[in-house]
């Protein structure tokens, strides 16, 4: 057998593929990246870029916290266009029940060494004067931040290229087998291992992989510096985002370095095109206005949508595809893929190189899923 | 004699005929740069009909309003960012 030209072929140059490429190239692997379209042009260009520690489950916490630390470590090297800003998150509580959630969350964070400060109604008002009055308070998590995802993806891919990675744009990989991925024109890209980092399109390369499209809308305003200071997320978010079946909207708003205000967010299943839907947009903006009435006076300049790559248990798939040891998955990051891209890249490289991982990898292994068990 | 209104542009008192668009009042006060682009270039009215958004100014504290679409009113406070 002739030795493969590449150690690893990464299919997809979204934030996840780019991060994996940077990590693998850094570790000395010979890397090729295959992207059918633009670098960072998929969900990565649609995402909000909130780098956020989440606590739905211990596994979700471990990966988001691990990744957030990696973002903060890397931040001194970012070019300006990555727009990294450690603005912090405020989880906004509208009623007593949500204030109880603030206290629970604070305890959770404290127990795990994540700084988090409870704000009462007055402190919340001082921190964010444009929020409506009558809110109960919130939880400030100061180590959270934001990035501009497509530029972050481009930066990571440049890092990979500096360490010898090759990037092939313009053609999809249509199959992956033992010899490597095959492109649409029939070219075989010889590689020992193929990594499917195709985001919401990953089932097109690996049929049966349990990733579904979960559509989201966003709106961006003109520049209104200091209108909002932190990423603000309603705690009702937990109730709505948790529902895996129905459509939902939540107040989720972000200050950009340009002074623009990014307004989200919506979640929909079973919608297969990226058209902006006025009905969803209206619902989403209505929700935002309930929290920040002053938004009505701002002018919006653009609205768009993207597909979050969602898995049934809301954890990503990172590791070998059962029964196909030459195929690895790095997909299914749902609404957290910007955040978790860096941790994912570490865990992928750890598995490829048999390095010890910094956090337990088992919760993210594809073998845990239905698809995994039918192949196993 | 047409009715006139009085407003301030960057703190300067001006008097114009009622119904004058804010953009016209700004131009007649001698300014051509109404605001700065993202890269800091001067910008001023282009289409005069509400389409291009180049003529945006702050009126009574509210940013990004199209000055070509707003008639001057008594006591109005206009801020350019040119
Ligand atoms: C509205 C919205 C808001 C969001 N907000 C946040 C947030 O605040 N914080 C956060 O952490 N996450 C957020 N996300 C989630 C985040 O954007 C995604 O999880 C992340 O971008 C997924 O990255 P990816 O690289 O897996 O996928 P993508 O960015 O979609 O990249 C996949 C790439 O693979 C390519 N590709 C696919 N198949 C093939 C093939 N066969 N051959 C060649 N190329 C292929 C595609 O062209 C694409 O470029 C948000 C998502 C949405 C939609
Ligand atoms: S000059 Fe074009 S919108 Fe006013």
Residues β-bridged to residue A213:
A309
pTM: 0.93
- What is B2-52 written as a DSSP string? --EEEEEETTEEEEEETT-BHHHHHHHTT----EE-TTS-EE--SSSSSSS
Average pLDDT over residues A98-125: 97
CA B52 to ligand 2: nearest atom:
2
Q: Report residue A247's pLDDT band, with 50, 70 and 90 as the boundaries.
A: confident
CA distances from A323 to A47, A200, A208, A299, B81 (A): 33, 22, 13, 53, 63
Given a cut of 50, whether residue A214 has pLDDT beyond it is yes
Q: Report residue A374's pLDDT band, with 50, 70 and 90 as the boundaries.
A: very low
* Nearest ligand to the CA atom of B66: 2
Specify the residue with its C-alpha closest to ligand 1, atom 33: A12
Pocket test for ligand 2, best of B35, B44, B66 (most atoms within 8 A of CB): B66
CA A334 to ligand 1: nearest atom:
19
- As for how many domains chain B has, the answer is 1
Between chain A and chain B, the number of residue pairs with CB atoms below 8 A apart is 12
CA of A60 relative to ligand 1 center, distance in Å? 18
Q: What residues make up the domain containing B10? A: 4-79
Residues in chain B closer than 8 A to A81 (CB atoms): none
Beta carbon of B21 within 6 Å of any ligand 2 atom: no
Beta strand B12-17 with B35-36: parallel, antiparallel or unpaired?
unpaired
| Mean pLDDT lowest among A5-19, A128-142, A235-249, B1-15 | A235-249
Closest of A353, A332, A325 to residue A177, by C-alpha:
A325
A299 vs B64: CB contact, 8 Å cut-off? yes
Mean pLDDT of chain A: 94
Between CA A202 and CA A351 the distance in angstroms is 20
Q: Phi/psi of residue B7, each to 5°? A: -145, 170
B64 vs A297: CB contact, 8 Å cut-off? no
Q: Determine the 3-state secondary structure of A255 from DSSP.
A: strand
B38 vs A297: CB contact, 8 Å cut-off? no
Specify the residue with its C-alpha closest to ligand 2, atom 3: B50
Q: Report residue A1's pLDDT band, with 50, 70 and 90 as the boundaries.
A: very low
A36-67 pLDDT, tens per residue?
999 999 999 999 999 999 999 999 999 999 99
Q: Going from the N-terminus, what domains does chain A have, and what CATH number goes with each?
A: 6-49+149-211+314-370 (3.50.50.60), 86-144+212-306 (3.30.9.10)
Instruction: Measure in Å the smallest separation between the Cα of A45 and chain B Cα atoms.
Output: 20
CA A242 to chain centre: 16
Work out whether the CA dihedral A157, A161, A166, A171 comes out positive or negative.
positive
Report yes or no: A157 and A167 within 8 Å, Cβ to Cβ.
yes
Token pair 């200091």 in the structure block, residue: A226
Supply the DSSP symbol for A172: -
Tokens at B11, concatenated:
């703190």
CA B17 to chain centre: 14
CA A218 to ligand 1: nearest atom:
1
Percent of chain B with pLDDT over 70: 98
Q: Considering all CA atoms of chain A, what is the largest pairwise distance in Å, rounded to the nearest integer?
A: 71
What is the reported pLDDT for A283?
95
CA A265 to chain centre: 14
Between CA A282 and CA A286 the distance in angstroms is 6
Interface check for A258 against chain B (CB to CB < 8 A): the answer is yes
Between CA A293 and CA A286 the distance in angstroms is 9
Question: Residue B73 is part of a domain; what is its CATH number?
Answer: 3.10.20.440
Given a cut of 60, whether residue A375 has pLDDT beyond it is no
Average pLDDT over residues A80-85: 95
């Amino acid at each position: 057998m002739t030795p493969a030209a590449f150690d690893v072929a990464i299919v997809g140059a979204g934030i996840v593929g780019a991060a994996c490429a940077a990590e693998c190239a850094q570790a000395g692997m010979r890397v090729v990246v295959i992207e059918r379209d633009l670098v960072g042009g998929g969900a990565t260009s649609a995402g909000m870029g909130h780098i956020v520690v989440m606590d739905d489950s211990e596994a979700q916490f471990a990966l988001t916290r691990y990744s957030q630390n990696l973002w903060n470590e890397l931040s001194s090297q970012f070019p300006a266009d990555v727009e990294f800003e450690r603005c912090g998150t405020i989880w906004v509580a509208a009623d007593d029940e949500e204030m109880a959630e603030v206290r629970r969350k604070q305890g959770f964070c404290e127990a795990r060494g994540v700084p988090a400060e409870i704000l009462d109604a007055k402190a919340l008002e001082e921190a964010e004067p444009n929020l409506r009055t009558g809110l109960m308070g919130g939880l400030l998590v100061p180590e959270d931040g934001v990035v501009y995802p497509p530029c972050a993806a481009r930066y990571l891919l440049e890092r990979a290229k500096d360490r010898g990675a090759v990037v092939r744009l313009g053609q999809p990989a249509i199959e992956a087998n033992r010899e490597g991925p095959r492109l649409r024109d029939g070219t075989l890209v010889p590689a020992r291992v193929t990594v499917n980092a195709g985001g919401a399109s990953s089932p097109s390369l690996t049929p049966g992989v349990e990733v579904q499209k979960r559509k989201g809308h966003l709106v961006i305003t003109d520049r209104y510096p200091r209108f909002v200071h932190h990423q603000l997320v309603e705690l009702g978010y937990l109730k709505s985002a948790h529902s895996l079946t129905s459509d939902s909207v939540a107040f989720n708003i972000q200050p950009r370095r340009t002074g623009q205000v990014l307004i989200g967010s919506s979640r929909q299943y079973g919608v297969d095109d990226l058209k902006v839907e006025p009905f969803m947009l209206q619902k989403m903006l209505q929700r935002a206005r309930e929290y920040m009435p002053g938004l009505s006076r701002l002018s919006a300049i653009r609205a768009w949508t993207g597909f979050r790559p969602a898995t049934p248990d809301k954890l990503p798939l990172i590791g070998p595809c059962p029964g196909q040891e030459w195929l690895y998955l790095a997909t299914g990051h749902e609404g957290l893929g910007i955040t978790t891209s860096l941790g994912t890249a570490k865990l992928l490289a750890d598995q490829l190189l048999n390095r010890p991982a910094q956090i337990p990898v088992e919760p993210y292994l594809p073998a845990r899923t239905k698809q995994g068990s039918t192949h196993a | 004699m047409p009715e006139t209104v009085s407003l301030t542009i960057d703190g300067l008192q001006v008097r114009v005929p009622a119904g004058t668009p804010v953009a016209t009042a700004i131009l007649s006060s001698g300014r051509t740069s109404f605001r700065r682009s993202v890269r800091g270039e001067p910008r001023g009215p282009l289409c005069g009909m509400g389409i291009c958004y180049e003529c945006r100014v702050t009126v009574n504290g509210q940013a990004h309003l199209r000055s070509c679409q707003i008639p001057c009113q008594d006591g109005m406070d206009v801020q350019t960012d040119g």
